């Protein structure tokens, strides 16, 4: 059951109904195994970018496999509000009638980006280059997330963006600024910051370069190239020249490895499992979860590797295995940044201890994923010791219990999978946001053997 209390949040004398107060509780029964063949929904990062770049391209972009989740829909609605004709989504198909780099129109009200950090950070760059003023807002979680990481470098490019004193949204972006290309060394490895600056760079005079301290997902660069926009990438430095054109194309969105991750871990920890995950995106900037699980002893086979629309794809077969604890290599951290909640569940089911360091970013995701996961694991009897930038987890026996996901989609799905190895049912509070990235999670997980209900 889904309830909306409709708690209004005041933004500029207007009331926006925040979407983060729907209450859904999952209860997952203990035991079972995962078997069968499934395709999880489309990649969230690629879905966002397909709408953004399709909208500012010239011509009609056809998208297949689009993620019909709340986050990517927030992006889609934002572009509709800026005058782009977008058909669908219907069965994952979306048609975007691109308006060109300078064809967007001022929206009549602030753009509400819900829970989606990717929408807000990428859009702030793209919107900084428009001729009109615009304001962007979101739900309680998004309005608490740090935005200086984008507003500061954008200001160096000449953008005018107002934020709260804490550097959070609402962001008020003043249009009509003449942006200048910059060369920016990112202090944190963030694909959102890199993509934001590249999108602003499309509108800037001269060259925009972003140097990343470690490799991060490169979907923006790949899609820009696929649309005929020259992007150079060498030694962790990505550059483009402003003032070019994007040409519409066809985009095939692979299944999201971040959504597949719940099943990779679930099938690894549940004895007797044998699961095939079809058409999963295996872009090397996203496969940290595979490397980490393999180091822990997981049995994962990559079958039928192919390239679809500029992105590598494979079917992943996963069978249960006894996992063991490891020290997670620092280099894998940005490549698995969204998968740590479920990797913590793998660690809780492993023999020995697992240590994660260098992942302070987890504290500023949709929730503080270090604290919220540590609280949940401890409530289930696992020795989990949070640190500033990671966690030490001692593998053990998961007990039955009740945990709070704090409205974080990935935490909710991670604890649902934990039930496969628990001694009794696990109930998880505040799960409505699972719909931001994985609509149909409960049905799909049930279809392959997880006994899960919602109330």
Active-site residue numbers? 338
Q: Is 274 exposed, middle or buried (0-12, 13-18, 19+ CB in 10 A)?
A: middle
* Helical residues (DSSP H) of 4-116, grouped into ranges: 44-56, 70-81
Contact between 118 and ligand S3P by CB under 6 A: the answer reads yes
Residue 381, SS3 per DSSP: coil
Residue placing its CB nearer to ligand S3P in the complex, 195 or 320: 195
Closest distance to ligand S3P from the beta carbon of 322 (Å) = 30
- What six digits make up the tokens of 407? 């409205």
Under 8 Å between Cβ of 339 and 261: yes
In the complex with ligand S3P, the residue whose CB is nearer, 43 or 315, is: 43
119 near ligand S3P (CB under 6 A): no
Give residues 356-385 in contact with ligand S3P (rule: CB under 6 A).
361
Under 8 Å between Cβ of 168 and 11: no
Judged by beta carbon, residue 25 or residue 286, the one nearer ligand S3P is 286
Count of residues binding ligand S3P (CB under 6 A)? 11
Residue with tokens 């696992």: 382
Q: Which CB, 216 or 259, lies closer to ligand S3P?
A: 216
Nearest-CB residue to ligand S3P?
45
Question: Scanning residues 329 to 358, which ones bind ligand S3P (CB under 6 A)?
Answer: 337-338
From 195, 208, 354, 414, residue interacting with ligand S3P (rule: CB under 6 A): 195
Q: Hey, which residues does 78 pair with through a beta bridge? A: none
Give the residue from 259, 267, 202, 300 showing the smallest Cα distance to 33: 267
Instruction: Give which of 256, 243, 253, 250 is closest to 96, Cα–Cα.
Output: 250
**Looking at 22, 25, 77, 217, which residue binds ligand S3P (CB under 6 A)?**
217
Q: Which of residues 60-79 bind ligand S3P (CB under 6 A)?
A: none
The tokens for 232 are 């150079």
Calculated CA dihedral for residues 450, 327, 437, 401, nearest 10 degrees: 40
- Write the binding mask 21 to 50 for ligand S3P: x where contact by CB under 6 A, - elsewhere: ------------------------x-----
Range list of β-strands (E), 106-198: 111-112, 134-137, 160-162, 171-174, 183-185
Site for ligand S3P in 164-193 (CB under 6 A): 190-192
Q: Which is nearer to ligand S3P, 330 or 447 (CB)?
A: 330
Instruction: Note the residues at the interface with ligand S3P (CB under 6 A).
Output: 45, 118, 190-192, 195, 216-217, 337-338, 361
């Amino acid at each position: 059951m889904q309830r909306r209390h409709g708690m209004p949040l005041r933004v500029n004398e207007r009331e926006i109904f925040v979407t983060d107060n729907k209450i859904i509780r999952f209860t997952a029964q203990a035991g079972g195994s995962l078997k069968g063949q499934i395709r999880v929904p489309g990649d969230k990062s690629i879905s966002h970018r397909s709408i953004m770049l399709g909208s500012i391209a010239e011509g009609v972009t056809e998208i297949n496999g689009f993620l019909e989740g709340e986050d990517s829909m927030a992006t889609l609605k934002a572009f509709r509000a800026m005058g782009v004709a977008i058909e669908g989504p219907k069965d994952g198909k979306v048609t975007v009638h691109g308006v060109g780099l300078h064809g967007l129109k001022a929206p009549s009200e602030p753009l509400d980006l819900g829970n989606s950090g990717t929408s807000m950070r990428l859009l702030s760059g793209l919107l900084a280059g428009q001729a009109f003023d615009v304001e962007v807002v979101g739900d309680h979680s998004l309005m608490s997330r740090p935005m200086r990481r984008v507003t500061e470098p954008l200001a160096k490019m000449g953008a005018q963006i107002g934020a709260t004193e804490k550097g959070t949204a609402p962001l008020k972006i003043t249009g009509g600024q003449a942006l200048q290309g910059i060369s920016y060394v990112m202090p944190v490895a963030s694909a959102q910051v890199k993509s934001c600056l590249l999108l602003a760079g499309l509108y800037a005079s001269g060259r925009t370069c972003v140097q990343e301290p470690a490799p991060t997902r490169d979907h923006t660069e790949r899609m820009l190239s696929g649309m005929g926009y020259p992007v150079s990438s060498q030694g962790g430095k990505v550059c483009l020249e402003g003032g070019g054109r994007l040409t519409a194309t066809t985009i095939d969105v692979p299944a999201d490895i971040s959504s597949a991750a719940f099943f990779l871990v679930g099938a690894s920890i549940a004895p007797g499992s044998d699961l095939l995950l079809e058409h999963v995106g295996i872009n090397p900037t996203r496969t940290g979860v595979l490397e980490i699980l393999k180091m822990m002893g997981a049995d994962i086979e990559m079958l039928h590797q192919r390239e679809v629309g500029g992105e590598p794809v494979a079917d992943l077969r996963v069978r249960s295995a006894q996992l063991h604890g490891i020290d997670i290599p620092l280099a894998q951290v940005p490549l698995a940044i969204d998968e740590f909640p479920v990797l913590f569940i793998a660690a809780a089911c492993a023999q020995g201890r697992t240590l994660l360091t260098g992942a302070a970013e987890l504290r500023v995701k949709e929730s503080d994923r270090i604290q919220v996961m540590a609280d949940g694991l401890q409530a289930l009897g696992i020795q989990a010791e949070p640190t500033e930038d990671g966690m030490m987890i001692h593998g053990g026996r998961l007990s039955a219990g009740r945990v709070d996901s704090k409205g974080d989609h990935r935490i909710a799905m991670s604890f649902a999978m934990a039930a496969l190895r628990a001694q009794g049912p696990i109930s998880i509070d505040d799960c409505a946001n699972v719909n931001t990235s994985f609509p149909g999670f409960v049905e799909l997980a049930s279809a392959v053997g997880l006994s899960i209900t919602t109330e």
